[in-house]
Structure 1
Amino acid sequence: MSRTEAAIGATTRSRLGDEIVSRINQLGAISETGEHLARIFLSPEHRIAADLILSWMRDAGMAAHLDAIGNVSGRYEGDRPGLPCLMLGSHYDTVRDAGKWDGPLGVITAIACVADLNRRGMRPPFAIEVIGFADEEGVRFASTLLGSRAIAGTFDESVLNVRDASGLTMREAMVQFGLDPEQIGAAARARRELHAYVELHIEQGPVLEQQNLPVGVVTAISGATRLAANLSGMAGHAGTVPMALRRDALAGAAECIVAVEQFCKADSAGLVGTVGVITAMPGATNVIPGRVSFTLDIRAPDDPHRKHAVAEIVQRIEAIAKRRELSLQIDVTHENRTVPCAPWLKAQVAEAVAAEGYGVFELPSGAGHDGMAMIDIADVAMLFVRCRGGVSHNPAEHVEAADADAGARVMLRFIENFRPRS
């Protein structure tokens, strides 16, 4: 790159943060209601957002279209047409009562980077594709990664018959959106078409803020095991059953929850455990709870470690139940494998971070991402951007403009220096 090109690049890069924040705000205004942000898969607001993103892609010099599942897809050709692509992106759906940054930051940053290349007339020796995945969150049809699974060719067509809260099937919702459910297979891509998939995303946690760093290099997307536990004891009158004779299911559940916390806290290899839902029955102030159900979510950056931890936690819960004379049923309800970031890609992301003057800090992603589906057709990598307080899936979710700019500059440098695997 010449000095003139470098100078132009520095000037345009300095504007990326402000441009990204402006577009985040525009997209964040597209919501079911004005009270909270909700942009759910295949909703009218989802379509408005898709059309807006498509217009930004075209303005950036990309050929853009809506694919068979509702992903927004833009392609910037390389120095000759038809080359395999470096795929960048994230998702543009949200949870309910969401923040503005989770997902859209990755899509908008990728578009901004391509626009910068286009302004400078730069065509790399590979194509660049930007994907805004239609449904990562899984809010409407209780099945996550629908957009990326369609791209990866692993979409489960049984989901088409699942009904949303209003009774509408996904098949019917797709037709209303203007899509043909029979054409979902057309969205699938072959491994030979991609060099890699790389996603920029907010961290959704407090580690980068703790490290005082704007960006971080992701090592792996942690696998997750979810379990449903049910403890049964004996309901009884709160005033007449002596403490020593009680079989209190809620007290037993409380001990189990503390045991999970203690076990995970003692682990130094990234294990996390969460009890997110607990229900006590019969649920009266003056009745000893006879039955309690609770959920468990266990995550770790590698599968053997997670599976060992799950087995150990289950053993501890079984021991507590036995000692307290409670019957126990515990079932696995969900299991996702760990997705490691490819070392050759991770190294290039780290080079870009260092070249922009930041310390290279590696960390796992405890949250799920579209890379968990994309790994089936491409090597994956991720770049995290610091979010204030580590808050996500919440209206308080926030990224400073300077951090958005830092993430964009790292991503742009990564693209400019990207070396496909030979």
Structure 2
Amino acid sequence: MIDVPEPDAERLADGIAEIARFHDSSLPGWSREVFSEPYRASRDWVRGRMAEAGLEVTADAAGNIVGRLPGTHGGPALVTGSHTDTVRQGGRFDGIVGVLAGIEVAQRLRETGVRLAHDLVVADFLGEEANEFGISCMGSRSVAGVLLPEHLDRVDGSGQRLGDAMAAFGLDPQAALRQAWDPADVHAYVELHVEQGPLLERSGTSIGVVTAIAGIDRMLVHFAGLAGHAGTTPMPDRHDALVSAAAAVLAVERVGCGAPVHGVATTGHIESSPGSMGVITDRARLWAEIRSVDGDWLRGARRRIVDEITAETRARGVDIDVDWISDQDPVPTSPLLQDVVAEAAGGLGLSWTAVPSGAGHDAAHLARLGPMGMIFVPSAGGRSHCPEELTATEDIARGAHVLAATLMSLDRRDGVRHS
């Protein structure tokens, strides 16, 4: 077995601490949302960190930061990376681990004199997290050719178009629609990520070999009731939009709890008007999502949720309008890359297990360009998307070591794209 350079664990930990400095200090935890000023500042830091590691650094029209370590023979590149934006009041590890580990692998290869035949590309994709525009994975969608003109016309709560927000951030939204990578230029894509769930920690396993990335369907439901005096309108005569929205929350939860294998359903936000305790609510809006690696269950869950909400609102005399925002279909990882990751972990003496991903990832879109695989490392307590998100430095270093071994193994393999 070829020696695989070990990562510098202290340098990885320092990098995570340094990029964590860029956040909205007015909020608890770490908020570095897409198009925010902390995110803008962190992008400069990432470019500098890639340059320090010896990578050739560019930024594209969609804001992706791409570092390249040239190989000896060129050809289709090995690609790794993730994202460095966060959810509001999020944590320090989701996405960040994949970007910094990719940079660390490239730097250790260069420091130890190991030359890959293929170029190694490390990407920090723009805007992976869900946002007010309802479009996640903006940067990876762009390079995969699935960022669409209608996406640019989506608006946030203030009425700003996504395309205008991109332009204000210094990007070129129209060029971002036309810059898809050629699949012939991608040998394989491997992403390291924190698990964001409890399975690895509970089982005492070091490495998760991801089998599939969950599909995500998001919905926005508008409820139209009838305003009235809260003190004088009898209960049987009410058409309360907020009560219907509250019942919809429970319908979403019931459907999620009924998944046979892997399926979850979450309501994330409700708005109502006029917002007075003395007035029956006439308008409400609800945002929810369902996720599963089982596409058949997702399609059935959509129907069940709408049927349950419709029946309940009709009984209350409330009208609804449901707008589904399909984010992505379930995406299986490459069986070959699953095997290579498992072999890499085993070769380094690390335990591993096969796991699905309930979270969405840039990797789901990179799968359009070539074989895709993912490596998970444990999340303490299974916590993520919150300030308590934590992955131990030694676990991150193990994941980076497996990433290096996986990339080196793929570098030596022919026919990866056709497996």
Q: TM-score range by the shorter chain?
A: 0.7 to 0.9
Alpha-carbon spacing, 1:245–1:161, altered in 2? closer, same or farther (3 Å):
closer
Report which stretch shifted further, 212-221 or 182-191.
182-191
Structure 1 residue aligned with 2:303, among 291, 308, 311? 311
Which TM-score applies when normalising by structure 2? 0.85
Give 1:135 shift: 2.5
Give 1:263 shift: 2.6
Which TM-score applies when normalising by structure 1? 0.84
Aligned to 2:358: 366
Alpha-carbon spacing, 1:25–1:297, altered in 2? closer, same or farther (3 Å):
same
Counting matched residue pairs gives 412
Give 1:359 shift: 3.8
- Encode CA deviations 1:18-48: one digit per residue, 9 max, x unaligned: 2211101111113454766444545665454
1:297 aligns with 2:294: no
Give 1:414 shift: 1.4
Could you tell me how far apart the structure 2 residues matched to 1:74 and 1:211 are?
Answer: 35
Alpha-carbon spacing, 1:32–1:244, altered in 2? closer, same or farther (3 Å):
closer
1:107 aligns with 2:105: no
Could you tell me how far apart the structure 1 residues matched to 2:140 and 2:99 are?
Answer: 14
1:194 aligns with 2:186: yes
Alpha-carbon spacing, 1:236–1:45, altered in 2? closer, same or farther (3 Å):
closer
Query: Is the CA contact 1:175–1:181 (under 8 Å) kept in the aligned structure 2?
Result: no
What secondary structure sits across from 1:352 in the alignment?
helix
Alpha-carbon spacing, 1:210–1:268, altered in 2? closer, same or farther (3 Å):
farther
Could you tell me how far apart the structure 2 residues matched to 1:356 and 1:173 are?
Answer: 43
AA matched with 2:286: F
1:266 aligns with 2:249: no
Could you tell me how far apart the structure 2 residues matched to 1:174 and 1:286 are?
Answer: 44
Structure 2 residue aligned with 1:375, among 352, 367, 370? 367
For structure 1, the 5+ residue unaligned runs are none
Structure 1 residue aligned with 2:319, among 324, 327, 334? 327
Alpha-carbon spacing, 1:283–1:185, altered in 2? closer, same or farther (3 Å):
closer
1:122 aligns with 2:109: no
Give 1:255 shift: 3.2
Could you tell me how far apart the structure 2 residues matched to 1:281 and 1:140 are?
Answer: 20
AA matched with 2:381: G
Give 1:297 shift: 0.9
CA RMSD of aligned residues (A): 3.2
Could you tell me how far apart the structure 1 residues matched to 2:97 and 2:285 are?
Answer: 37
Give 1:139 shift: 4.2
For structure 2, the 5+ residue unaligned runs are none
AA matched with 1:75: R
Summarize the alignment of residues 17-416 of structure 1 with structure 2, pairs less than 5 Å apart. 17-31=9-23, 33=25, 37-41=30-34, 45-78=38-71, 80-137=72-129, 139=131, 143-157=135-149, 170=163, 174=167, 177=170, 183-184=175-176, 187-244=179-236, 246-416=238-408
AA matched with 1:333: I
Alpha-carbon spacing, 1:259–1:192, altered in 2? closer, same or farther (3 Å):
same
Give 1:301 shift: 0.8
Could you tell me how far apart the structure 2 residues matched to 1:338 and 1:283 are?
Answer: 38
Query: Is the CA contact 2:206–2:352 (under 8 Å) kept in the aligned structure 1?
Result: no
AA matched with 1:132: D
AA matched with 2:107: A
Alpha-carbon spacing, 1:160–1:221, altered in 2? closer, same or farther (3 Å):
same
- Encode CA deviations 1:252-299: one digit per residue, 9 max, x unaligned: 433332233223212222111111222344433244444443222111
Could you tell me how far apart the structure 1 residues matched to 2:221 and 2:409 are?
Answer: 50
Alpha-carbon spacing, 1:214–1:242, altered in 2? closer, same or farther (3 Å):
farther
Could you tell me how far apart the structure 2 residues matched to 1:91 and 1:109 are?
Answer: 12
